[in-house]
Structure 1
Amino acid sequence: MNTPATPPASNGVLHTRFSQRFGLPLPVALAPMALASGGALSAACAQAGALGLVGGGYGDLSWTQREYTLAQSLTAASPAGARIGCGFITWKLDEDASALDWLLDQAEEALPRALMLSFGDPRPYAARLQARRIPLICQVQRLEQVPQALEAGAEVIVAQGAEAGGHGMNSLNGRATFTLVPELADWLAAHSPDTLLLAAGGVADGRGLAAALALGADGALVGSRLWASAESLAPAGAKAQAQASTGDGTARSEVFDILRRKNWPAPYDFRALRNPLHREWESRIEALRATPEAARAAYDQGVAAGDFNAAHATVGEAVGLIHDCPPAAELLQRMAEQALRLHKI
């Protein structure tokens, strides 16, 4: 059985192997959410003591350049500058790696503190990351994916449960955070004890962080809760819809990927808030795939108008714990304080 993460120090700081290895006051990383985890949010998380991962997402070069540069400029000449990283969707890098190429061509002082790869085979990129001495974080959804990540040289494994917002494994293949994390913790303890583990999916407050540590993780990757922060690039209307919802209000399906013209490979699909357009098509996926034109037009109109009865709000089951949209620093402070209180019980 894996030993739980190191208990918090008496000075009120949560110390774990993850926080110690990456020089973080908090054992938390910002999920690199495409089009939401921009430079301002990544910098705010880094300044608050977390690892701020810019959401390189689909590998758009100009977006990555702008947001990564912004994160660096906002943290220049401060300790937070050493807490900025980036994350990409691996199968999209296989099609176009120009954003990664640009990132790896940076001067030594501008390189990312870590790089996270999700949804695909990370091994083709391992040698280049190792050459620049950039720690690799690999996100997995099943135990069977871990050996491939370790072969790629992953220093950190993210165990993503199906509760997570955005992309993850579909209902036939996905696992729950509460069971996936301790199983991976035990497996890593036996097979790769120096590899760190982060929990992802449903971690939205100090209770979730404390639970992740108790389950054997070294920290947590936080998405939905920071998606609903002041610095997040998520649309204001989407954040408002999330605050009015409960955890019952999300669904995992291919609907929004089809509407957005995103050709995701199996077995991945997308969790977001269910809205009228989603409900219209969620039980008719093949019909939507065959004739998507009218539904796509409705979706596009919703996006243009900021109408989230048609446009999507990318959030996970933790949406039921989202009741406000404060600065990221306030959210992370709340999370840390609550987790510390629970550790002392």
Structure 2
Amino acid sequence: MALSTAFTKLFGVRHPIALAPMGGSAGGALAAAVSHGGGLGLLGGGYGERGWLARELPVVAASGRPWGVGFLSWAVEIDAVEQALEYGPRAVMLSFGDPSPFVERIRAAGVALIVQVTDLEETRKAVDLGADVIVAQGTESGGHGARRGRATLPFVPVAVDLAAPVPVLAAGGIADGRGVAAALALGAAGALLGTRFQATAESLVDPATAEAIVRGRGQDTERSGVLDIARGSGWAATNYTARTLGHSYLDRWRGREAELAADLEARRAYQDDVARGEVPPLPVWAGEGIDLVDDLPSAAGLVAALAAQAEDALTRAGRE
């Protein structure tokens, strides 16, 4: 059975699977591999660093397959979005913050607008803005998400009902084909996966990070603002926290975020620990579905495997 949905028809892709545009992980090679595998590869444009985009955009643009690029609404400038549009993406995805300053330019380019949401208020705003696709992100997701969000299972069907007829992708804790099948059963038009694609041959993450994901367990992940404060990240001033694997600074400062924010010496100590190699330069962003990640495959093959597993799960569910 072919998993044809409003999402696959909109972008002309074979499978209802999209790559989360993870900054630092989803470079041109990974996005291209996902697109070659029949999904929608989304380049992780993040903050819109121009040199990085100049290096990675040509790689995914040369794939000859549908692809897109994602940015952080609160951090990116319009010139970075315009730089990406020059390469002819099929979609631009905007996450975390107000996407409205970029909508007109994206529309003028004839490019589909994907908006990621973390609650019902954001979902309503995305509908009002005319989003072509909405990504409903649950709190199980790795990396940044809502400080006080909703779990994927109850959030997605409510978002689907609110957004209809706009197609919705489910995100958060989905790491195998059974999760993709579950997303479809909830009424979503597909699934957007992040953590699973970090642990692939084409990911830009450090090999040690990929291995940590393969070895990690969902119970060892935690959503917190501690590491953003310690790093002096711009995220610390937003309403979003991040789910990561365990970290010594989480243990040291859990529940004491305000104290850490006011302690300049503690934040300097973090940078010193990074310089000495005692803590990694970046946290290991990881979602609760990490238990299902046990290898480092090619992303193109992974997309096909996820789709086959989803089809099998739906077929078995229909028989039982």
The alignment partner of 1:91 has SS state of coil
C-alpha spacing 1:68/1:316, structure 2 compared with 1 (3 Å): same
Query: Which residue among 140, 143, 164 is the counterpart of 2:117?
Result: 140
Percent sequence identity is 43
Query: Could you say which residue in structure 1 is the equivalent of 2:146?
Result: 169
User: How far did residue 235 of structure 1 move?
Assistant: 1.2
Q: 1:206 matched to which residue of 2? A: 177
For the pair 1:326 / 2:270, whether they are aligned, the reply is no
Paired with 1:205 and 1:332, the residues of 2 have a C-alpha distance of: 10
For 1:98, give the aligned amino acid.
D
> Partner amino acid for 2:75?
K
Selected match of 2:154 from 151, 157, 179: 179
Give, in angstroms, the shift of residue 152 of structure 1.
2.0
CA distance in 1, matches of 2:159, 2:182: 15
Q: Could you say if the C-alpha distance between residues 29 and 296 of structure 1 is closer, same or farther in structure 2, counting changes exceeding 3 Å?
A: farther
Aligned to 1:131: 108
Equivalents in 2 of 1:281, 1:331: separation in Å?
37
Paired residues for 1:82-231 under 5 Å: 83-93=66-76, 96-104=77-85, 106=86, 110-170=87-147, 173-189=148-164, 193=165, 195-231=166-202
Residues 92-144 of structure 1 show CA distances to partners (whole Å, capped at 9, x for unaligned) of 12xx333112223x1xxx31110000111111211111111110000001111
Report the alpha carbon displacement of residue 14 of structure 1 after superposing the two structures with TM.
Answer: 1.6
**2:20 aligned residue (31, 38, 61):** 31
Distance in 1 (CA, whole Å) between partners of 2:41 and 2:5 is 17
Task: Tell me, in whole angstroms, the C-alpha distance in 1 between the residues paired with 2:33 and 2:161.
Answer: 33
**What pairs up with 1:254-293 in 2 under 5 angstroms?**
254-264=225-235, 265-293=237-265
Matching residue's letter, 1:217? A
Give, in whole Å, the separation in 1 of the partners of 2:127 and 2:11: 19
The one-letter code sitting in structure 1 at the alignment partner of 2:150 is R
CA distance in 1, matches of 2:120, 2:189: 17
**How many angstroms apart in 1 are the aligned matches of 2:137 and 2:282?**
25
Change (3 A) 1:315 1:46: same
> Aligned to 2:18, what secondary structure does the other structure show?
strand
Q: In structure 2, do the counterparts of structure 1 residues 134 and 248 end up closer, same or farther at CA, with 3 Å as the change threshold?
A: same
Q: Partner of 1:70 in structure 2? A: 59
The two structures, once aligned, show a CA RMSD in angstroms of 1.7
What count of residue pairs does the alignment treat as equivalent?
315
Instruction: Give the TM-score normalised by structure 2.
Output: 0.93
Q: 1:224: how far off?
A: 0.6
Residue type of the partner of 2:71?
A: F
Q: Could you tell me whether the CA contact under 8 Å between 2:244 and 2:287 is conserved in 1?
A: yes
Please tell me whether the aligned partners of residues 237 and 307 of structure 1 are also in contact (alpha carbons under 8 angstroms).
no
Asked if 2 retains the 8 angstrom alpha-carbon contact of 1:299 and 1:311, the reply is no
Once the two structures are superposed, residues 48-106 of structure 1 have per-residue CA deviations (whole angstroms, 9 ceiling, x without a partner) of: 01111100001111112211112123x1xx4x2xx12100000112xx333112223x1
Aligned match for 1:50, one of 21, 35, 39: 39
Q: Which residue type is aligned with residue 219 of structure 1? A: G
Deviation at 1:223, TM superposition (A): 0.5
CA distance in structure 2 between the partners assigned to 1:165 and 1:236 by the alignment: 18
